[in-house]
Copies of this chain bind each other. A is one copy, B any other.
């Protein structure tokens, strides 16, 4: 380690919230990790400090030009201690996002070490009620106070953490999804494959409209042809078509999801055929007509698997698997969450122990 990470402990600890009422991203732990970047010094001054507001010049570039990236991963309390799920993948992806946003690369080892130190200090915040976890949010913001449109000369890398509730308090529940034909999330040549703020801001309108019409989320189509499937909400998406599982290939406009990667790995391990390729909405509708659209589900760190019970496209409704969670979807969900909470074997070495 090039540099020592310092630790300043909070004088007073917060009261921990009721683990049965955590929700998502509402409570934050007692500490956070900060690392600074300046053009003349590189990344420096890594430290764990009490969770606190940050003070920024109103001209800081993040407010005006959105030069920012983030990550999301989880820590789980298992019978054999606190475990992280594939954490190095997140720091690798952070650096890919950095490259796309003209943010200098971060030392992945140093960032990871910061997380470990932070987790150590706040280890009591990893909840233990079934289905709960500690959500971890590393992010970088451009801090230079200058209004020229060009890359910032200074940045803050931070990690904050939030205990989060069971995503499916009453069992996994399929959702109704609106296939979005007006708004576009991202396009090839844009920033869709980076985990950066602008992609999420761009999706709010569509999401609000879908909710008003009774849908949980939108299924995004590509911005060029308006027919190839991209993602569902902030998740990657999979379809089981006549026994074959298909998912949109990485094409530059969708995120290279870590859960997506885990699902593909698992399916291959089981001998279930998986294809990463272009999938059009027409193909799905055709399959629905033929009775071969057997299952559909989103994948992401927050929900792991989110079964899709209904698609709505141009005013038509397409019910999938009778609106119930599919057998394979359930099996994937049970397996990945079982590995995460330590109740199942971890054949791929996905878990990393804190201690």
Contact = CB atoms under 8 A, between A and B. Distances in A.
Contact of A55 (B54, B102, B190): B54
Nearest to A135: B147
Interface residues of A, number: 65
Greatest chain B CB density within 10 A among A62, A182, A189 is at A189
B234 A203 contact: no
Interface stretch (A65-73, A84-92, A236-244, A314-322): A65-73
Interface in A167-223: 182-191, 196-205, 207-208, 223
A15 B123 CA distance: 49
Interface stretch (A23-31, A255-263, A271-279, A340-348): A23-31
Interface of A: 24-26, 28, 32, 51, 53-59, 62-68, 70, 100-102, 135, 137, 139, 141, 145-151, 158, 160, 162, 182-191, 196-205, 207-208, 223-224, 226, 233-234
21 contacts: A28-B145, A51-B58, A54-B56, A54-B58, A59-B162, A63-B197, A64-B70, A64-B137, A64-B139, A65-B204, A66-B68, A67-B201, A101-B201, A102-B204, A182-B189, A184-B189, A186-B190, A187-B187, A188-B223, A189-B223, A191-B198
